[in-house]
Amino acid sequence: MGVTVIYKTRCWIATVFLFLTTFCLSLSTSDAVAAAAAAEGHSEKSASKKTDWDQSKSHHGAVSLKLMHREQVALALGLAVVPPAQQQLPQLVANAIARSKSRVRYLNSRVVAKFGLKNSHAYQFVVAQASAATSLINAAPPAVASASGLLSTPASGGGQEYFVSLKLGNPPQEVLLAVDTGSEISWVQCTPCVVCYNQILPIYDPNKSSSYTVFDCNNKNCHITDGVSNVCSQGDGTCAYAATYGDGSDTWGSLSSETFTMESSISSSSGSAFVAAQEVIFGCGRLNQGLFVGSSGLLGLDRGTFSFATQMGVSFSYCMIDRMKTPNATSALVFGSSTSSGSAAAAADQPASAFAYTSMLNTAGKAPGLYYVSLVGIRVGKQQLPIDFSAMELNPNGGGGTIIDSGTYISFLPEQVYLPLQDAILKQAKLELLVAAAPPWSDLIPGGLQTCFLLPKSSSHHKSGSEESGIPPVILQFEGNVDIELDFHNVIIGPFDPGTNELYCLAFVNSGPLQQPPSICVAVIIGNVQQQNFLINFDLSNSRVGFKKTDCATAAAG
């Protein structure tokens, strides 16, 4: 009965969110808020202090993890799947764009939740009804998924583009977590489950760990933050968490702490490559449903209180490879100070002066803990685009603004930005716009891409048969005189036509007109393709984001 009530309530609350997000970008839709009762755990420990991690076992305080993109994550784990090279590029891109659309809905729903239903009677009703599920905690967990489960569903895993492998507990149990700069709480599926989706690795069992702790209602961490709702269960007095996502996916369970062990790719001074972070606050998920197929859960890296990055107390960096060009290579995720972070073992020591830094916007009380920066202009070649970016600034409603995001595949731009960018590139490169919806292009161009054209190999647009010389560079201009120059593979994507290899598209999505009066949606989202081959440093202590042009594949290989 409890679960039935929750599902019905989710449908109703999702309808309310759908109404609230009608005025967002054309991709925006609903978000559901739910909370639930807690589960069994060991006696409570103090979680008020900053997470402990042994930096003596890291390289100058930096820990580098292999960052795997979804097309090769199962292969990297030694599981039998179809190699990415054998998959059709148009289908891979179409799937990634479909996931990104769900991602955009989620990011916008966080803004809505910040100013919408958090303190409403509707939210309180959902919390009360969700607590009725306590009696179902002892339900048996599902079977482990097949190795190919992560890749089988075209639009599965909204926002799950990159993953890391960690170990939880003592003795350690391996988990595969989606890396998400747009979420606060880290969580994993736990046994026993009310409902769990299929995942590649065995489900984490807290009863097998001596370091697992579940919080009770008196713990100061049992409160509401931007990215996660925490409530007390009505059953045993333990603290429950809930997190919801814009595609209808959600998770709830016990707010807990555990030891997270990371295997660093950087050799440590003591000879050990394993670094343990103790008493990390996370969610032990008892009811998890939606588009998380394959992973064990999520590693939250936003600016919130419960974020893994915040708890680690250090900056973090990542360096994303060109995943379509080098599909079998891994990227890198590094935790460490801004003066000792890097892309991988060969680039672990990067001084702050090596980065071009722009400030993170102060979003306290105004927007959720996403990585907002100020985009002040775009230049194509030598042409400054006539765009009024002041109209897209972060507004008092929490909408607008520009974010750097790990979970969106390609950048989403409002029509006011997309169309001038498209026109300038086509004009300067002297390219003819193809009608993507008309044959024969409709059978080749991935859904969601609108600006496509032919780049004949014999023309001046190509160099050495593959590298471009005619596409003008696109320069993103951020506050603080920070100019980030995007090259060929950050600007266009393809080829999509087997044999001739001449069909390319702009690697941006037109998200439609930015609504006025001030929108409650994020205006610009900088996605993975535009971040590829940049070492990006999130310097939390100094509230800034740094960029350094880097060959991420070479750095990771080193």
* Secondary structure of 485-536 as H, E, C letters: EECHHHHEECCCCCCCCCEEEECEEECCCCCCCCCCCCCEEECHHHHCCEEE
Burial of 143 (0-12, 13-18, 19+ CB in 10 A): exposed
Residue 131 confidence (pLDDT): 41
More confident residue, 47 or 404: 404
Poorest-confidence range of 108-112, 482-486, 552-556? 552-556
**Which of 172, 333, 177 is closest to 266 using CA atoms?**
333
Average pLDDT over residues 272-291: 86
Given the residues 180, 302, 322, 539, the one annotated as active site: 180
Residue 228 confidence (pLDDT): 63
More confident residue, 270 or 539: 539
Contact 275, 63 (CB under 8 A): yes
Contact 557, 385 (CB under 8 A): no
Average pLDDT over residues 142-163: 48
Quick check: 58 pLDDT over 50?
Answer: no
Share of the chain above pLDDT 70, in %: 66
Q: What is the pLDDT of residues 343-358, one digit of tens each?
A: 343 344 466 678 999 9
Average pLDDT over residues 304-328: 86
Residue 497 confidence (pLDDT): 86
**Which of 474, 444, 445, 472 is closest to 460 using CA atoms?**
472
Tokens of 373: 């920066």
Residue 352 confidence (pLDDT): 66
Is 180 assigned a catalytic role?
A: yes
Q: At CA 35, angle to CA 31 and CA 40, rounded to 5?
A: 145
Average pLDDT over residues 252-258: 93
Q: Give me the sign of the Cα torsion angle 375, 376, 381, 386.
A: positive
What count of other Cβ atoms lies within 10 Å of the Cβ of residue 79?
Answer: 15
More confident residue, 357 or 328: 357
More confident residue, 244 or 389: 389
More confident residue, 480 or 122: 480
Contact 388, 454 (CB under 8 A): no
Average pLDDT over residues 357-363: 91
Residue 365 confidence (pLDDT): 66
Tell me the Ramachandran region of residue 429: left when phi exceeds 0, alpha when psi lies from -120 to 50, beta otherwise: alpha
What is the residue whose two structure tokens read 């506050």? 479
Average pLDDT over residues 155-166: 71
State which H helix or E strand residue 125 sits in.
helix 121-130
Quick check: 378 pLDDT over 90?
Answer: yes
Instruction: Tell me the pairing of strands 411-413 and 508-510.
Output: parallel
Residue 304 confidence (pLDDT): 87
Share of the chain above pLDDT 90, in %: 36
Given the residues 31, 250, 302, 405, the one annotated as active site: 405
pLDDT range class, residue 475, cuts 50, 70, 90: very high
Q: What is the pLDDT of residues 404-436, one digit of tens each?
A: 999 899 999 999 999 999 999 999 999 999 987
**Which of 500, 436, 440, 431 is closest to 472 using CA atoms?**
431
Quick check: 56 pLDDT over 50?
Answer: no
What is the residue whose two structure tokens read 């449903």? 289
pLDDT range class, residue 555, cuts 50, 70, 90: low
Q: What is the pLDDT of residues 490-534, one digit of tens each?
A: 999 988 887 788 899 999 999 998 876 556 788 999 999 999 999
DSSP one-letter string for 320-341 = ---TTTSTT--EEEEES-TTSB
Quick check: 313 pLDDT over 80?
Answer: yes
Quick check: 557 pLDDT over 60?
Answer: no
* Mean pLDDT value across the chain: 74
Q: Hey, is 17 helix, strand or coil? A: helix
Is 236 assigned a catalytic role?
A: no
Burial letters 361-379, b for 16+ CB under 10 A, else e: bebeebbbbbbbbbbbebb
Poorest-confidence range of 185-189, 322-326, 358-362? 322-326
Query: What letter represents residue 80's amino acid?
Result: A
Q: Give me the sign of the Cα torsion angle 21, 24, 27, 28.
A: negative
Q: How many whole angstroms from its chain centre is CA 76?
A: 20
Residue 273 confidence (pLDDT): 72
Q: How far apart are CA 57 and CA 262, in angstroms?
A: 11
Q: How far apart are CA 312 and CA 117, in angstroms?
A: 30
More confident residue, 272 or 94: 94
Average pLDDT over residues 143-163: 49
Poorest-confidence range of 48-52, 134-138, 272-276? 134-138
Quick check: 21 pLDDT over 70?
Answer: no
Residue 542 confidence (pLDDT): 93
Q: How far apart are CA 478 and CA 466, in angstroms?
A: 30
Residue 252 confidence (pLDDT): 87
171 prior amide bond cis, ω within 30: yes
Choose the most confident range, by mean pLDDT, from 20-29, 51-60, 446-455.
446-455
DSSP one-letter string for 41-84 = -PPP----SPPEE-GGGSBTTBEEEEEEETTTHHHHTT-----G
Q: Give me the sign of the Cα torsion angle 175, 176, 181, 182.
A: negative
